[in-house]
Structure 1
């Protein structure tokens, strides 16, 4: 794309900033106990405020509520989208990206903010706009642009229930390497390297040397992870570190099943691990199946070479 073509393209996509994707529209169904129950079962959420009417009747609210994170579910179109979506400014903008070769799409992050609880019988209304489009970015996926939509939710009385920002990367997919022929060798994919900067480079250097360190404030002795320049307790900039014994327990976990990521093991188990020293660490659990992992499971870690270029702390059942 020449500079002139890029400018013409950007003039067209930036014209979408601030455009309404949809006006305030009511969900097809009111908030109801059945959908709340399905959501809670799928999420494994046993909070009685959502599904236990007897418990809720004796609570301060006097009634059940919908999980706040369920906010976006009420206005979803459902199965009808399999037959195609109606044209709107967002789909038109996406088609414009595709027309210029930005056919790759990756949802990068979602931010929700909650202001009001809703209960069975309430109706949620949604209005959405294209809030921002970034400048041209060079990403690991390819050259592209981030765009962010802002969805605002309100109830039947017009009171704001919450907002959701959804950020998407539209990019030009990079060409994939072709199969090796003759004496050529196709490089084996490795894990995506972790960023190493001024504030965390020392930590990764220690991992490369076979040690798991935990940052410690010199003034108040509070431990912190991940590494950062200032103590969150006393705001001191002075710090040192201690070496972890790499013993801990699972406090949260998931399995990344799909899509498969080149350079990573099949179905890796990723967990938040509370170390015996008191700080939390995100790492892989290995040496057992996902179905064998449970909250509170005791773990013992060690620093291991996981591919040709990468050394990481990994944890095994104790």
Structure 2
């Protein structure tokens, strides 16, 4: 039988040419195992971005009659209350995202495998435990970084038309823009993963992770302002009385304000507040030789520096947690 082929018939395309990019090996296994959590993260991120884009359009529609994007006066501030509440509520919701991710993504990343014995099966295969853990951490971390970065940028974009009204030292802005949400998320999720490997019980690990994440957020909120370098603004009144407290630059956050005596000693702003009337207060201040004010504040120009410094600390802590997870997985995972 002849084996000749019709030259007019096109040759079959190589099998490699018809292949499409797809996951394989350990990457496919990790995605398959956690696909519900991963797709939920992607869907919520897309929904969040869509909601922010819509709300920003509503905000710019409100500002348009006042000359947006070149606002010529502050008249728009009077009717901004409702929009400010929406921004604050959204910021509050975003500030809880790292906690939720730590509980529902971090803690269950390895704990179920240790609880039901899957980790022993993995350890018996040709793939090393370190590679298995690394794949889980890398894939999960990559999705978290992309999602939180997009939400952070989008939320800052929403605030941008009314940035002058943003309480930049509050968690609803400081912790939800710039690199901070990414750093907080990675740190808390890594902590959740480590807690899961230590406790080896999924539900228990989720509960402990929740309390740890809440505690960490509280500690972070107490240390946030210490990331900046306070600036001191002092005044001296020629008549020998303090006069009015100094006017701070726009957007500045006041830390503390004190009276200053002629010798340079600081006294609390409540000094002489117990006096019966204004005249008595003046007499009291003269007796104490109070001549001016000293006010400490953080300028808004330090926002980016404070955020990156805080994020850097959290990134270092995250790296330390990941190192512990990997070392423990290499030695005592099963």
Task: Please give the TM-score of this superposition, normalised by the length of structure 1.
Answer: 0.20
Which structure has greater helix proportion? 2
Structure with greater Cα Rg: 2
* Larger RCO (alpha carbons 8 Å, 6+ apart): 2
Task: Please give the TM-score of this superposition, normalised by the length of structure 2.
Answer: 0.19
